[in-house]
């Protein structure tokens, strides 16, 4: 599929839609799947998503007393880990554009005994925080759903303190060709069936598979982060490049 958009349009999976329409359509997807989101993640990745998130948490290196923003944090997996790392003197904020996902995140944090986490409904493209507010910002499996990814990267960079780091955990492009072919078969044949029978929503999981294919590859996203003003950007491929973590710093 071509990654080029008609003027005023953007991708919603493989479909081109008016740029102003994508946000509401993505909201519909995540409102539909919120209650079964974590269960589906376990089924789709065979539990490996937990290892990907653990790697991102370790790479973030959050220390006691630091301030952390988890953008598109959804059900709060990363938030929970960062809250433990930042400790009682630190602050971790869970942010998501989708109210249903935030509600699920609140419920899961309470169930896990995690308190003191503010929840903020916010668009990653225009975060409602002051400049230089956070030591660390993360966005896990959320950037591909953002309409204007460049604006989101600039917004997150703006909110970092000098010396702060941004981590983008996202599906990417397999770097091994046999793996890429098998991954395509799994994504377009198995995932929609899981969506149909487990989440009762085949269309949303077909969109998620398509959105992964339309997301920038590792090198392109690295260039985008540098274009947003982030420096020392490094790329870490996980599971053969099915997922990648990009880490960049605001140095001044």
- Residue ranges for the known binding site for S-adenosyl-L-methionine are 75, 96, 123-124
**Tokens matching residue 96:** 């998501």
CA gap 122, 156 in Å, rounded: 12
CB atoms within 10 A of CB 33: 23
Instruction: Determine the 3-state secondary structure of 184 from DSSP.
Output: helix
The residues, ordered by sequence, that sit 6+ positions from 111 with a Cβ below 8 Å of its Cβ are none
Q: Where are the beta strands (DSSP E) in the chain?
A: 9-12, 15-18, 67-71, 91-96, 119-121, 134-140, 160-171, 231-238, 243-249
Please choose, from the candidates 83, 64, 65, 63, the residue with its C-alpha nearest in 3D space to the C-alpha of residue 73: 83
CB atoms within 10 A of CB 60: 24
Instruction: Determine the 3-state secondary structure of 104 from DSSP.
Output: helix
CA gap 7, 12 in Å, rounded: 15
- Local structure of residue 205 (DSSP, 8 states): H
Contact between residue 13 and residue 211 where contact means Cβ atoms under 8 Å apart = yes
Contact between residue 58 and residue 84 where contact means Cβ atoms under 8 Å apart = no
**Tokens matching residue 93:** 């904020």
Q: Which residues are annotated as a binding site?
A: 75, 96, 123-124
């Amino acid at each position: 599929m071509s990654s080029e958009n008609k003027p005023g349009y953007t991708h919603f999976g493989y479909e081109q839609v008016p740029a102003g329409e994508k946000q509401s359509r993505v909201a519909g997807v995540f409102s539909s799947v919120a209650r079964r989101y974590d269960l589906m993640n376990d089924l789709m990745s065979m539990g490996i998503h937990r290892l990907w998130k653990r790697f991102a948490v370790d790479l973030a290196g959050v220390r006691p007393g630091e301030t952390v923003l988890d953008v598109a944090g959804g059900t709060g997996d990363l938030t929970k880990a960062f809250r433990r790392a930042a400790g009682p003197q630190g602050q971790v904020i869970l942010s998501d554009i989708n109210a249903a996902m935030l509600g699920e995140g609140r419920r899961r944090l309470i169930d896990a005994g995690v308190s003191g986490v503010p929840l903020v409904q916010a668009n990653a493209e225009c975060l409602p925080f002051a400049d230089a507010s956070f030591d660390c910002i993360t966005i896990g499996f959320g950037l591909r759903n953002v309409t204007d990814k460049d604006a989101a990267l600039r917004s997150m960079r703006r909110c970092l303190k000098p010396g702060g780091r941004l981590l983008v955990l996202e599906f990417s492009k397999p770097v091994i060709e046999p793996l890429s072919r098998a991954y395509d078969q799994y994504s377009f044949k198995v995932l929609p069936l899981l969506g149909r029978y487990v989440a009762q929503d085949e269309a949303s999981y077909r969109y998620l598979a398509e959105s992964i294919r339309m997301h920038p590859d590792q090198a392109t996203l690295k260039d985008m982060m540098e274009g947003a003003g982030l420096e020392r950007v490094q790329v870490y491929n996980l599971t053969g490049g099915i997922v990648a973590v990009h880490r960049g710093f605001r140095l001044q």
